[in-house]
Structure 1
Amino acid sequence: MGKLKSYGNFIKVEHSLFSLPLILCGSFLAGWGLPNLKLLILIILAAISARTTALAINRILDAKIDGLNPRTRQRELPSGKINLKEAVFITLAGLFIYIASAYYICDLVLYLSPIPLLVFIIYPLMKRFTPLCHFGVGVGLGLAPLGGWVAVTCSLSNLTVPLILSLFTLFWVSGFDIIYATLDEKFDKEKGIYSIIAVYGRNKGLLISAILHALAFFSLLLLYLLIFKSYISLIVLLIAGVFLYLEHKNSENVDLAFFKINIVVGFAVFIFVLSGIYLP
């Protein structure tokens, strides 16, 4: 049980709660309703395994940096709770499930499947040379709505709707990753790790984060104006906006702002999409 817990902590299973609602939003919008059960299971498997692969790659590439940082030195790799071979095995297992899921969805999804993998490899390296690293994770998760859409349509035509949802995700995730970086402001400055917080300071960094979250909200508003008519959707959209605001009111409490509030935002967006599809 101890090893299983270490494996779960290594890949942060709970972080799938960020990406899963987004890929489901893309798939529901593509078919304007629930995909068939087989396809839905494949989409969920692809989402979770892709997230597992991404986080495992991140942890492997960052193992040395994590070992130097007092906040992260107890993570599974630097602390020795799991070894590199185990980490690589988890990565390959996630990769296998991801590619297999893509194969069974359709040929186009299989052909496009290396694109997220490339982002997963580049993103952890970005903090070594650019403060734009936050946008790397934003792009990675921003591919989720597009992936869900293409999984249902097996086509690259008529992508306006998922692209708007992907823009929301890019702005939202990049914004909350900047807030998360406040935890390592001192360490990043000392070790020359690039983040917007380390390079431009906390106040400017949080302002940039707030601007990104405003853009995220207006992306959802644009989506509502283009395709939805439900008043319930509008109410849920406003609720999501309130929680984005609360994220910045509570930016000092990173556990609340980064994890708990953002899970609420992610599921609010999912309800926003569902109500837009199913409710008048």
Structure 2
Amino acid sequence: MSGKRPGAGADLNPSGAASPALPDAAAGHWVDTLAPPQLRPYLRLARIDRPIGWWLLLLPCWWSAAAAAVAAGRATPDLGHLALFLGGAVAMRGAGSTYNDIVDRKLDAQVARTRGRPLPSGQVGVRQATAFLGLLALIGLVVLLQFNGFAVALGLASLAIVAVYPFMKRITSMPQLVLGLAFAWGGLMGWAAAFGDLAWPALLIYAAAVTWTIAYDTIYAIQDLEDDEVVGIKSSARWFGAHTRLAVGLLFAATVAMLLAALPSIRAGVVGYLGLAGFAAHLAWQVRNIDTSDPRRALMLFRSNRDAGLILFAGLCLDALVRAG
């Protein structure tokens, strides 16, 4: 899958060469069709053209907030918190991606899927990217400061994991584990924002989100198997090899098992269990359709995890509404 194919929405980099939409961007996204050409490289740095990233960062926050509502007997999660988590997820996904691209710019230049990104293609310099990172981090901090003190401290603690993640693909065959520890952090945040502390349900949701992240990012890494082997980038997809489908299936099974353990502790009702069943069915469908020789299918399955996560969130929200009524 080439990172330099011509296409709609192309703008010009400083050398005058066409800079098309990236191969894993959402087709026809407004970043590539409507945004001013001078802003497109920054929007791409923040992955605005790939909204699946912030969705996957956001969903554990929403699961945890919905679980807190069920546990507290409220009809709905705190809608203000849900909105803040949305804004924070977009900002911090953008900040994390920009930081990752600064660290990985030389590696990205060697991989077909990523060599068209703004830094390795020369559309943005390191100094400009660093300033943009600071702006996004400031927005994320402003959002975080709207929560209680415990949630603020908890959110800041996640930065240690975010800081080391880009280096993990150089030293471990399971960088997806570190990504999971970072991306799943919202599983703690939703509960902390609601109650000002942590409890077993939040820890189980966090653990479930970690294994879910490892599994879906393993599917995502299938796209880069050939390039990663040549360049020497490590990934769970390379490590699992011929056993990738089995490994993803076991990780998804662990995800469902931990969520199943969390539901009784929040006194979830039938609707909550039905939501989990729908989530589990979606994960099973993904496992059945994994094909390590088909990068396009891998991208489609990876993106489908937004829908899987929304099924679980909807089940928890409906359970809260039914039980409170």
Aligned residue number for residue 213 of structure 1: 252
Aligned residue number for residue 209 of structure 2: 169
Whether 1:82 and 2:124 are equivalent positions in the alignment is: yes
TM-score (norm 1): 0.90
Alpha-carbon RMSD across the aligned residues, in angstroms, is 2.0
CA positional deviation for 1:125: 0.7
Check conservation: 1:186, 1:198, Cα contact below 8 A. no
The amino acid across from 2:280 in the alignment is G
The amino acid across from 2:274 in the alignment is I
CA positional deviation for 1:72: 1.2
Aligned residue number for residue 65 of structure 2: 27
Check conservation: 1:143, 1:166, Cα contact below 8 A. yes
Check conservation: 1:6, 1:82, Cα contact below 8 A. yes
CA positional deviation for 1:69: 0.7
Q: Deviations over 1:140-193 (max 9, x none)?
A: 11111201211222224xx11111111111111101111111111122222222
More helix by percentage: 1
Aligned residue number for residue 96 of structure 1: 138
Answer with 125-134 or 17-26: which moved more: 17-26
Check conservation: 2:67, 2:266, Cα contact below 8 A. no
The amino acid across from 2:250 in the alignment is I
Q: Deviations over 1:227-270 (max 9, x none)?
A: 344333222222211110121222231121111x1011111121
Q: Measure, in 2, the Cα distance between the counterparts of 1:17 and 1:263.
A: 6
Q: Measure, in 2, the Cα distance between the counterparts of 1:39 and 1:196.
A: 34
Which of 190, 197, 214 is the matching residue for 1:155? 197
Q: Measure, in 2, the Cα distance between the counterparts of 1:37 and 1:178.
A: 32
Aligned residue number for residue 17 of structure 1: 55
Q: State how many pairs are aligned.
A: 276
Check conservation: 1:142, 1:169, Cα contact below 8 A. yes
CA positional deviation for 1:36: 5.2
| Structure 2 stretches lacking a partner, 5+ long | 1-35, 292-296
Which of 99, 104, 114 is the matching residue for 1:57? 99
Q: State how 1:40-55 maps to structure 2 within 5 Å.
A: 40-55=82-97
Q: Measure, in 2, the Cα distance between the counterparts of 1:279 and 1:67.
A: 52
The amino acid across from 1:108 in the alignment is F
Q: Deviations over 1:24-58 (max 9, x none)?
A: 22223334444555544434333332222222211
Answer with 21-30 or 270-279: which moved more: 21-30
Q: Measure, in 2, the Cα distance between the counterparts of 1:179 and 1:41.
A: 29
Check conservation: 1:23, 1:47, Cα contact below 8 A. no
Going from structure 1 to structure 2, the CA distance change for 1:230 and 1:111 (only over 3 Å counts) comes to closer
> How many percent identity over aligned positions?
23
Q: Pick the structure with greater CA Rg.
A: 2
Q: State how 1:1-280 maps to structure 2 within 5 Å.
A: 1-13=36-48, 14=51, 15-31=53-69, 32=72, 33=74, 34=76, 38-156=80-198, 159-201=199-241, 203-252=242-291, 253-259=297-303, 261-280=304-323
| Structure 1 stretches lacking a partner, 5+ long | none
Q: Deviations over 1:104-125 (max 9, x none)?
A: 3232233333321111111111
Check conservation: 1:99, 1:113, Cα contact below 8 A. no
TM-score (norm 2): 0.78
Q: Measure, in 2, the Cα distance between the counterparts of 1:272 and 1:10.
A: 34
SS at match of 2:143: helix
Going from structure 1 to structure 2, the CA distance change for 1:229 and 1:148 (only over 3 Å counts) comes to closer
